[in-house]
Amino acid sequence: MNSASSTPHDQGPRRPDPEPDSRGAGARRAAAAVFDGLRAAGVSLSTPAVSTKPLLADAPKRWVRLLPQVIALGFVVVLIPVTVQVLTNDYGVGGGPAGALAVAQSAPLFLAITRPLPAWWIVITADIIGAIVTMSANAGRPAPWTPMIIVGYVVLCCALSLRESRRTLLGIWMVTVVSGLVLGAFSGEGSQDTSVLLIVLSGSVLMLGTLLRERGDARRRLVEQETISEAERAQRTLLEERARIARELHDVVAHHMSVITVQADSAPYRLDGLPDAAREEFGSIAASARESLTEMRRLLAVLRSEGANGERAPQPGLDRLPHLVEATVRAGIPIDLSRPELAILTQLAHVSPAVDLSAYRIVQEALSNVMRHAPGARTTITVSLDDQYLLVLVVNGPSSEPPAPLEGSGTGHGLVGMRERVRLVGGTVDAGPLPGGGFRVAARLPLLPKGSGTA
């Protein structure tokens, strides 16, 4: 024999085929996945939705809120007697068992209004018992699912789809599929039609109801988010307006503090024969005024927006109204201004600078609104005195041309700014549309703002 020849046994031990282990590991993973899925489905089917409010309880219309009760009542009233009659006449079931099955299959529809999942457990159990009863009767009638069972179950699926989660609904449908296929297989040839009908109808209703519910939930969340955003925008507008008013009032107060500083510093030189104590007192007043002015400037730095430049022009008052009216007339708004009253008001020393500024800004914002919303409308401005109050009235008629997105001369946020200014000085404002068209703004401002007094 040739020594070079060899047999398969001469090539060493053969390596084991790894495929059986791989197939075993894959089977174990698949079994574990199935087990986890069944466990999750079991948990879902045993955990109803947290909410126990009636279905459609949040609907805005009362008839929609009552719709689930009306539907449940209608089906229960019809299904119970029909089920009893069919079971007794067609399947030969006694009156007592037939009545018990009819109630167990239909009455839980009332429970489904608030707790659909517990109602489903009752109904699916009663339906399976009813299917077994119809199969055992062997009456040559549709089995295992009677038409009443299918109708009641589909109605229950509607309630489930409006309340339960997707995982729970999937578990419900899987139980329906398994029950239908198993009972259909034992009910004889040609009896699977009712099982297929139950599976298809229940799955379609569960899917369609889930889509409608999720669409409604998404729309409701969008509305809630828009409401929250609108409230946040309104709050932000109010805070911005308050900061802007505070910056303007700072300029007014800073002017008075500067005057106090200059007067206190120059008093020893203007007044002869001042005692040393008086000179020290004036010096202390000047130092306190300068310190207060410095602190106010620091406050202003906090109030100013980042990158914003301070206004270098003096804050306007009622004496600037003619210039404001002239600029607005050039923009195409015909205005009537009561000039005699204005001439008197600008000479009254007891009109507070804060009130003076607020009155000007109110007129400015009112005219800005006219330019935005009623271009070309004739406008009347009246400024007058009533006892200890300054009255500002701005009335415009209907627009003579369609509104356009114009950038007006206002510096605030319309009615928000007006109301905030009036509130800060202790006055009142009434703004709203007129019956015949147009708009009216009436402000009543105290000559001395809230919190001020005489020495």
What are the φ/ψ torsions at residue 93 (nearest 5 degrees)? -85, 140
Reduced to 3 states (helix: H, G, I; strand: E, B; else coil), residue 446 is strand
Strands 379-386, 439-446: parallel, antiparallel or unpaired by DSSP? Answer: unpaired
pLDDT in tens, 351-378: 778 888 888 889 988 998 888 888 888 9
6 has pLDDT over 60 = no
Helix (H) or strand (E) holding 206: helix 192-270
Q: Where is pLDDT greater, at 46 or 295?
A: 295
Provide the strand spans (E) within 154-301: none
What is the arithmetic mean of pLDDT over 54-73? 89
Q: What's the rounded Cα separation, in Å, for the pair 431 and 108?
A: 57
Average pLDDT of every residue of the chain: 80
The answer to whether the CB of 101 falls within 8 A of the CB of 83 is yes
Read off the pLDDT band of 191 (50, 70, 90): low
The answer to whether the CB of 106 falls within 8 A of the CB of 152 is yes
pLDDT of residue 13: 54
Whole-model pTM?
Answer: 0.53
pLDDT of residue 259: 76
pLDDT of residue 103: 95
Polymer length in residues for the chain:
455
pLDDT of residue 408: 41
Q: Where are the domains of the chain?
A: 35-227, 243-303, 318-446
pLDDT in tens, 268-287: 888 877 788 888 888 888 88
pLDDT of residue 153: 95
Q: 17-26, 118-127, 180-189, 421-430: which has the minimum mean pLDDT?
A: 17-26
The answer to whether the CB of 242 falls within 8 A of the CB of 306 is no
401 dihedral zone (left: phi>0; alpha: psi -120 to 50; beta)? beta
pLDDT in tens, 122-165: 999 999 999 898 888 776 777 788 899 999 999 999 999 999 98
pLDDT of residue 409: 43
pLDDT in tens, 219-262: 888 888 888 887 887 777 777 777 777 767 666 677 667 778 88
Domain 318-446 CATH class label: alpha beta
